[in-house]
Amino acid sequence: MINGILAAEELLASRVAYTFRTYPKQITAAIAAMLLSAGTLAVASLGPDASDLPIQQVLEATAPVSFADQSASLENFSFTLFRTDVSRSSDTAEALMKRLGISDPAATAFVRGNAEARMALFARVGRTVTAEATQENQLQKLSARWIPDADGGFKRFVVERTPTGFVARTERDMLTPGTRLASGTIRSSLFAATDDSRIPDAVASQLADIFAGDVDVRSLRKGDRFAVVYETFEADGQALRSGRVLSAEFENNGKVHQAVWFQPPGAGQKGSYYRPNGDSLRKAYLASPVEFSRVSSGFAMRMHPILNSWRQHNGIDYAAPTGTAVRTVGDGTVDFAGTQSGYGNIVIINHRNNQQTAYAHLSRINVKAGESVSQGQTIGAVGSTGWATGPHLHFEYRVGGAYQDPTTIAQEGGAPITAALRPAFERIAVGARTELAAAFSVIQASAD
């Protein structure tokens, strides 16, 4: 019940914020006009004061409804129950129906025996499934929704009760773009708080990347808080996929950081994140080539785990499971993609100003020499090839061939908003501030 109320508040706030962002001048003008007209009426009113009017009492006898009639009315009242869940890898028809609160052997048997239903409900995990039932928990309608491809559409599978039994059909419809607002308070980690506030992991990862130069998400403080406004793609009012973060705010250690997505008008223009004053938040390099990983060995002298001798460690090791995606920290061109002694599978990327980054011990390489890559692009996966005692990523940063501490890589910023684009940016920034304020007021989520 509480989740339903919070979701309704979140949706209402999203719509109000979207309206303010889309029509800020019109709404401001309308409010001003209302205030002006109210003030005019107050000055021009010539009617008698309400306190001088005589008091009139109206008495009307009412007959109470008998208990029997009230009981009969309640018995005749019918309602529909709704419940939503997601499909799981271990699901059977019985398990799914039980989780949805359905007690209907005929419906369960139909789902179990219908090939179309089995394919739609149990072939893939994570599909949104909604059941509509009577107060006796008899199934009226069952629907599942999922995105089959990237063409902007979704599929809807429906099982429906008819006078002659159950029927099944699969429909295709278009996704509806939307905007969602959320906020949270850190108790232990960013992912714990975003999970508690029902923010998708993809949005949480964007949040970490946006503020990578200002906030280290691996060492957040208890009580830090954040708000985020992000795109959604919805089917029948349910978000099936998240999109880009449109604006965000992060309060870390008493300092407030804000970000606004701005894409200059015109075809082919690239967007980026900026502070409200127009300074760019986009760094020349991401702070880490692996999302939410732990640094297991820093840029310093250490005892080499294989050679058993003190040596300078010329990079940073990130502990992560085999297969974890590895991304390039900046735009560039692949200089080498293959195998080198000690490094195992390695990718080396040339960047501007005679700078290089290297990604070693990969289990898989996704790029080849000469290929252009963009910041954040997946270039391989974590592994343990070469001289490695376990799965991890060895990451190096080189300038003019000399090894540099990779922790300093995310310090170089991008260009600010130009004077020509500032008016358009200011309009977006004003709307973003309104949305973020609304996000903080909708729900304060936290996670221990």
For the whole prediction, is pTM greater than 0.85? no
List the one residue out of 162, 160, 168 whose CA is nearest residue 132: 160
What pLDDT score does 34 carry?
47
What pLDDT score does 258 carry?
95
Indicate the residue type of 302: R
| Range in 13-27, 210-224, 401-415 the model is least confident about | 13-27
DSSP type of residue 383: B
SS3 assignment for 120-187 = HHHCCCCCEEEEEECCCCCEEEEEEEECCCCCCEEEEEEEEEECCEEEEEEEEEECEEEEEEEEEECC
Sign of CA dihedral 41, 43, 44, 49: positive
Per-residue pLDDT of 35-56, as tens digits, reads 444 444 344 455 566 667 788 7
Average pLDDT of every residue of the chain: 82
Higher pLDDT, 172 or 71: 172
pLDDT(81) > 50: yes
Residue 114 backbone dihedrals phi, psi, to 5 degrees: -95, 120
What pLDDT score does 298 carry?
46
| Range in 111-125, 217-231, 308-322, 327-341 the model is least confident about | 308-322
What pLDDT score does 71 carry?
74
Higher pLDDT, 95 or 59: 95
List the one residue out of 371, 391, 394 whose CA is nearest residue 383: 391
- Indicate the pLDDT class of residue 248, thresholds 50, 70 and 90: very high
Higher pLDDT, 370 or 127: 370
Please name the residues in contact with 184: beta carbons below 8 A apart, sequence gap of 6 or more: 193, 194, 196, 197, 199, 225, 226, 444, 445, 446, 447
When pLDDT is averaged across residues 120-129 and rounded to a whole number, the result is 89
What pLDDT score does 148 carry?
84
What pLDDT score does 408 carry?
73
Residue 414 backbone dihedrals phi, psi, to 5 degrees: -95, -175
Q: Which domains does the chain have, with CATH numbers?
A: 87-174 (3.10.450.350), 177-282+431-446 (3.10.450.350), 294-411 (2.70.70.10)
What pLDDT score does 63 carry?
76
Beta strands 225-235 and 176-185, pairing class: antiparallel
- Indicate the pLDDT class of residue 284, thresholds 50, 70 and 90: confident
| Range in 37-46, 64-73, 102-111, 313-322 the model is least confident about | 37-46
Per-residue pLDDT of 291-305, as tens digits, reads 755 555 444 444 445
Higher pLDDT, 312 or 441: 441
